[in-house]
Amino acid sequence: MSLIARIWLTRALCAAAFMGLIALLVSAWPPALPCLAAAAVFCAVCALSVSCDAELSCPLCGRRYGPRILFSMRCAHCGGSVPSGVKSRFPLARTALLVLCAVCALYCRPMRLSPPCANEPIYLSVTIALPTEVVNDDGAYYGVPRVKTAALEFAPGSPEAKAVSQLLGGFVFHRCTETLTGSMSIHGEGGASAYVDAGGLSLSAHGGTHIFIDGRVYHAGWLDPGAGAGLTEALAALVPESRFEVSP
């Protein structure tokens, strides 16, 4: 690839990334921020690959072109034009792969929940699926799903509120594909669910690998497929059996 073609390719990539980011920001798409970071890093790597390549030196003065070659086809030091016969190697695939891996690692990094505010009440709602009841209706058998539910409010500073804060504080989770796409549905979860509303934190765990935090789906735990189920069971264990109501 010639140096001139490489410069125009870098310009086109930067322009495409900029236009795509404008579209993302205007549409208020939730993953706009990570996309902005990915495009910024990619454009920075492309620009640095042009400006720091030792092979890309002006044949007239012998000095490197530098990043200003992206804006002008002339050497910033002597003003000489870029020769059309200068060849350049542009590791596009390798650069894109490295940037993609770095952005994925940053996007999927483990995060921790902050403990709920100790001065506000904590609302806990638990739903547990029970074995299906088989009903005989004049010789016709069908199953009736049964669940038991409980909804409690824990006063600030109570032992139950402290237990919930201890469970949630420091709980590890990370972004996933559902977080990026803005999906609000999760499938194949367990038979129990728990909902917590505490001091500005809204969390819903369904006994599976995914949880809802403030209206978005995240992957529970980090390299621990049972973290979501463990959190759901621990929250359900805080509710006394006498507070459950079975329906129907």
Question: 244, exposed or middle or buried, with CB in 10 Å at 0-12, 13-18, 19+?
Answer: middle
Contacts of 17 (CB under 8 A, 6+ apart): 39, 40, 42, 43
**Joined tokens for residue 20:** 């795509």
β-strands 122-137, 172-174 pairing: unpaired
Element (H, E) at 216: strand 216-220
Q: Structure pTM?
A: 0.64
pLDDT of residue 151: 94
Q: State the Cα–Cα distance between residues 79 and 84, nearest whole angstrom.
A: 15
In this structure, are residues 216 and 186 in contact, taking their beta carbons and an 8 Å threshold? no
The verdict on whether omega for the bond into residue 248 sits within 30 degrees of 0, i.e. cis, is yes
Write out the chain's pLDDT in tens, 248 residues.
Answer: 677 777 777 777 777 767 766 665 665 555 555 566 666 666 666 666 665 555 567 777 877 777 677 777 777 778 777 777 666 655 555 666 666 777 777 777 888 988 877 678 999 999 988 888 777 777 677 777 888 999 999 998 888 888 888 888 889 998 888 887 788 877 656 678 999 998 788 999 988 888 999 888 999 988 788 898 899 999 999 999 999 998 87
Q: State the Cα–Cα distance between residues 67 and 81, nearest whole angstrom.
A: 15
Q: State the Cα–Cα distance between residues 12 and 6, nearest whole angstrom.
A: 10
In this structure, are residues 132 and 143 in contact, taking their beta carbons and an 8 Å threshold? yes
Q: State the Cα–Cα distance between residues 220 and 228, nearest whole angstrom.
A: 5
**Joined tokens for residue 155:** 């006063």
